[in-house]
């Protein structure tokens, strides 16, 4: 598997529009839509279709006081609204977060919030990853790849969707730039290398862990991951 197209991801957009998509993939869809106008249009079309089906459904009776209760819940939520992402970043000044402020929403807010508890983890020289709290059982990570640096060669225990947010990388299946989505399965082994023209940020969502080869694979087995 290699670069995924809008047609490949059509069912995911439909699930997103219907409100039944896993939170990790919602983050993936919303981030890609912020990067690619054609994806935003595809999502909008799916939402329009979902709205048509919704309007055709038989209306359900609403209990007395339901509107007042809903408005009260909204007021309570807004009263406890968390600080803006800019304020969060200000409290973490000096931690090397300037680049995170350039990420598109909602990825920016998720990354800044996750950084406060998870921190960056070094993988190999020039490669760091940040575990994101997306409210999902899926593994969600933000990768930072320095120009010319290579992620250790690995396969996957399940499916992996990797969205390039900025910069770019290349692997055995091709080159990927901002907004491109790489799809890998259990039978795929690859070794992404960051492009030379800048730092690459990539959002990875997977339903199984990575299986490293070589020395990294030995270390992984020794620590029982």
How does pLDDT run across 63-73, given as a tens digit for each residue?
555 556 555 54
Domain assignment present for 143: yes
Least confident of 1-5, 82-86, 189-193: 82-86
Domain assignment present for 19: no
pTM, to two decimals: 0.73
pLDDT value, residue 215: 39
For the record, the structure tokens of 54 come out as 């919704």
Domain assignment present for 127: yes
Average pLDDT for residues 90-95, to the nearest whole number?
46
* 118 confidence band (pLDDT: 50, 70, 90): confident
Q: Are 29 and 16 in contact (CB under 8 A)?
A: yes
**Residue 12 half-sphere exposure toward CB, CA atoms < 13 A:** 20
pLDDT value, residue 184: 86
Domain assignment present for 113: yes
Domain assignment present for 122: yes
H/E/C letters for each residue in the chain? CCEECCCCCHHHHHHHHCCCCCHHHHHHHHHHHHHCHHHHHHHHHHHHHHHHHHHHCCCCCCCCCHHHHHHHHHHHHHHCCCCCHHHHHHHCCCCCCHHHHHCCCCHHHHHHHHHHHHCEEEEECCEEEEECCCCCCCEEEEEEECCCCECCCEEECCCEEEEEEECCEEECCEEECCCCEEEECCCCCECCEECCCCCEEEEEEECCCEEECHHHHHHHHHCCC
Domain assignment present for 110: yes
Measured CA to CA, the distance from residue 2 to residue 191 in angstroms comes to 13
Domain assignment present for 147: yes
What pLDDT digit, counting tens, does each position of 128-144 carry?
A: 999 999 999 899 999 99
Q: What are phi and psi of 118, to 5 degrees?
A: -100, -35
Q: Are 207 and 159 in contact (CB under 8 A)?
A: yes
Tell me which of 100 and 54 has the higher pLDDT. 100
Domain assignment present for 176: yes
* CATH at 146: 2.60.120.10
Q: Does the pLDDT at position 201 exceed 70?
A: yes
What pLDDT digit, counting tens, does each position of 19-43 carry?
A: 889 999 999 999 999 999 999 998 8
Domain that holds residue 89: 85-222
pLDDT value, residue 68: 60
Average pLDDT for residues 145-157, to the nearest whole number?
88
Q: Are 217 and 155 in contact (CB under 8 A)?
A: no
Write down the mean pLDDT value for the chain. 77
Measured CA to CA, the distance from residue 1 to residue 171 in angstroms comes to 12
Q: Are 143 and 128 in contact (CB under 8 A)?
A: yes
Number of structural domains, the chain?
1
Q: What is the largest CA-CA distance in the chain?
A: 65
pLDDT value, residue 94: 44
Q: Are 206 and 138 in contact (CB under 8 A)?
A: yes
Q: Are 193 and 169 in contact (CB under 8 A)?
A: yes
């Amino acid at each position: 598997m290699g670069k995924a197209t809008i047609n490949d991801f059509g069912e995911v957009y439909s699930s997103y529009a219907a409100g039944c998509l896993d939170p990790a993939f919602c983050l993936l869809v919303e981030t890609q839509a912020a990067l690619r106008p054609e994806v935003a249009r595809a999502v909008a079309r799916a939402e329009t279709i979902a709205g048509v089906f919704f309007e055709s459904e038989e209306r359900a009776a609403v209990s007395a006081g339901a509107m007042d209760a809903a408005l009260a819940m909204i007021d309570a939520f807004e009263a406890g609204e968390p600080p803006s992402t800019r304020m969060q970043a200000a409290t973490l000044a000096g931690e090397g977060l300037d680049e995170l402020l350039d990420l598109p929403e909602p990825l920016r807010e998720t990354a800044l919030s996750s950084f406060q508890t998870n921190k960056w983890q070094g993988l190999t020289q020039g490669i760091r990853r940040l575990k994101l709290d997306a409210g999902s059982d899926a593994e969600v990570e933000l990768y930072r790849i320095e120009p010319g640096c290579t992620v250790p060669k690995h396969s996957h225990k399940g499916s992996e969707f990797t969205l390039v947010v900025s910069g770019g990388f290349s692997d055995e299946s091709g080159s990927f730039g901002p907004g491109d989505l790489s799809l890998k399965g259990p039978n795929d082994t690859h070794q992404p290398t960051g492009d030379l023209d800048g730092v690459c940020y990539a959002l990875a969502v997977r339903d199984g862990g990575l299986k490293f080869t070589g020395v990294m694979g030995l270390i992984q087995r020794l620590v029982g991951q």
